[in-house]
Amino acid sequence: MAPPSKSRRFARPSTKKKSSSPSSGKKKLTAAERERSTRPLREDLVLQACLEAYALVRHEGRLSDRALDFTLRRKANLYSSERRAVAERVYALLRRQRTVDFLLSRAHPRFDSVDATRQDVLRLATSRVLHGEPLADVARTSSLAPGDAQALSALPQAAAALEALPEKKRFPIAASLPDFLAERFLALYGKDAARAAEAMNERAPLTVRANLLKEDRDALAKRLAAAEVESKPTALSPMGLHLETRLNVFALECFREGFLEIQDEGSQLLGMLVDAPPTRVVDACAGAGGKTLQLAAQMKNRGDLHALDIDERRMEDLKKRARRAGVHNVRAQLIPAEGPEVDTALEALVGKADRVLVDAPCSGTGTFRRKPDARYRLTPEDLETHAARQKALLERFSRMVKPGGRLIYGTCSVLREENEAIVEDFLARHPEYSVRPVAELLGAELGAKLGPGPFLRLAPHTHGTDGFFAAVLVRAK
């Protein structure tokens, strides 16, 4: 098991600069890039862009990646170091939103009554302090309104007030989770809940999967090194590499030539569990094809890989990605979401597949590192809707598994109600299926690293991956 990430005390504003070096190695910079990256940020421009992007997310409900994309596209005058600072600061604030708001409500006597922009300036400044930037630097570069610098100075006392709250009240605020999710985290992780939430509030690594149809990961690492990109092998997946985070992968020649795909290590492990033979395989919720391409490589580009989804745009992306990766055993099929037409569309595959992967739509609670704002959109009712849909999809697509074949159910959620509970419900109605422990499929060494239990259960604090769940169910012959 990967060592847990170093735990940072919540809400203890530090006065020291946080180390910025990710363990994943660094892209070597050219002289011009080095000069640009050491140039001081033009803080006024960075702040303006942060305010615009943040307002789009929090006040207009846009998704964080789209809001940043939209904002930065209109800021052609920003240097790349400044663009990175904008993205990092906005994401960092979204990850710590609830903590920041609590601290400011204590540190600033009139926080609720100052205007929205002034509040956001204060939020961004507080988040920077919370993430380890020296208070004096933040105060100097944040364009604070007169008097607001005092609020920053009062943050340590506000942090002490947070620490003094009873655990049940403190945890949701310190973890920056809505109450209903905090409750679930406490129930799921017990004494490790704070560590789990802390790791979910860290920046995620940039991880790629070597396209084994072209070459293995050692060859890819050399290819990347030749392009001055350092990488580090992933600890669990044998085809993954972590890259220097500050890198536009899409601009790399080896990306355009299909040698790699961006894919979290947890997602790679889920894909490995499919263990797809070169016969007939169904990827029932294929989306833009993250796992489809991995399955195609497992099948060595042979047999029939049916990629299904209801989303036309994602299916188009899948086709483009398959072309780039040199994959040609995929049959992409757009299917209806509901109604009797679904059965008609799927009829030819009933009882025919050796493997069916249901990578179900879910709450995404395992991917909060990458989509920090998702937690504020999610409601308890959404969880019920997800569970009902997951049950229905498993029921529907299980019909395609042939006797002796396998049904693989996966999510990027960490919540029991979308994972174990769905599998238990399915098994109660389908005695012809039994659980195959994941360690048996992945081998003793890797199995031991994944932990106990018959299912794949990953989380940032235990494995350094995004949160994933998977179950492998075998249909009796």
Ligand X SMILES: C[S@@+](CC[C@H](N)C(=O)[O-])C[C@H]1O[C@@H](n2cnc3c(N)ncnc32)[C@H](O)[C@@H]1O
Positions that interact with ligand X (CB under 6 A): 284-288, 290-291, 308-311, 314, 335, 337, 359, 361, 393
Shortest distance in whole angstroms from residue 226 CB to ligand X: 29
Q: Report the alpha-carbon distance of residue 47 to residue 373 in Å, rounded.
A: 19
Tokens of 14: 């530090």
The token pair at 96 is 């710590």
- Is residue 309 a known part of a binding site? yes
Residue closer to ligand X by CB (options 187, 350) is 350
359 is in an annotated binding site: yes
User: Are 466 and 367 in contact, with CB atoms under 8 Å apart?
Assistant: yes
- Answer whether 371's CB lies under 8 Å from 342's CB: no
Q: Least CB distance from residue 308 to ligand X, whole Å?
A: 6
Catalytic member of 50, 254, 285, 412: 412
What string of DSSP letters covers 249-302?
A: GGG-HHHHTTSEEE--HHHHHHHHHH---SSEEEETT-TT-HHHHHHHHHTTT-
Q: Residue 227 CB, nearest distance to ligand X (Å)?
A: 25
Return the number of the residue (104 or 360) whose C-beta is nearest ligand X: 360
Nearer to ligand X, 259 or 409 (CB): 409
Decide whether 252 or 286 has the Cβ nearer to ligand X. Answer: 286
Q: Is the dihedral of CA 207, 457, 454, 450 positive or negative?
A: positive
Single-letter residue type at 147: G
CB count in 10 Å sphere of residue 451: 15
Say which residues have a Cβ less than 8 Å from residue 38's Cβ, sequence separation at least 6: none
CA dist 236 and 239 (Å) reads 9
Nearer to ligand X, 166 or 250 (CB): 250
CA dihedral 202, 61, 320, 325 (to 10 degrees): 0
Q: Name residue, tokens 């679930």.
A: 184
Say if CB 292 and CB 286 are below 8 A apart. yes
CB of 385 to ligand X, least distance (A): 11
Point out the residue whose Cβ comes nearest to ligand X. 290
Cα separation, 222 vs 206, in Å, equals 17
CB-nearer residue toward ligand X: 172 or 361: 361
Q: Give min distance, CB of 5 to ligand X, in A.
A: 25
Residue 262 CB, shortest distance to ligand X, in Å, is 10
| Minimum CB–partner distance for residue 288 and ligand X (Å) | 5
DSSP code, position 204: P
Which one-letter amino acid corresponds to residue 113? S
At 23, list the tokens.
């363990």
Q: Which of 59, 63, 43 is nearest to 117 (CA)?
A: 59
Angle at 169 between CA 167 and CA 171, to 5 degrees: 60
CB-CB contact of 100 with 119 (8 Å): no
Q: Residue 15 CB, nearest distance to ligand X (Å)?
A: 42
DSSP state at residue 27:
B
Among residues 106 and 386, whose Cβ is nearest to ligand X?
386
Closest CB to ligand X among residues 144, 401: 401
Sign of CA dihedral 227, 229, 235, 240: negative
Nearest to 288, CA basis, from 261, 266, 259: 261
Phi first, then psi: what are they for 182, rounded to 5°?
Answer: -60, -45
Contact of 149 with 138, CB cutoff 8 Å = no
**Known catalytic residue at 412:** yes
The residues annotated with a catalytic role in the active site are 412
Which residues are annotated as part of the binding site?
309, 359
Which residues are annotated as part of the binding site for S-adenosyl-L-methionine?
309, 359
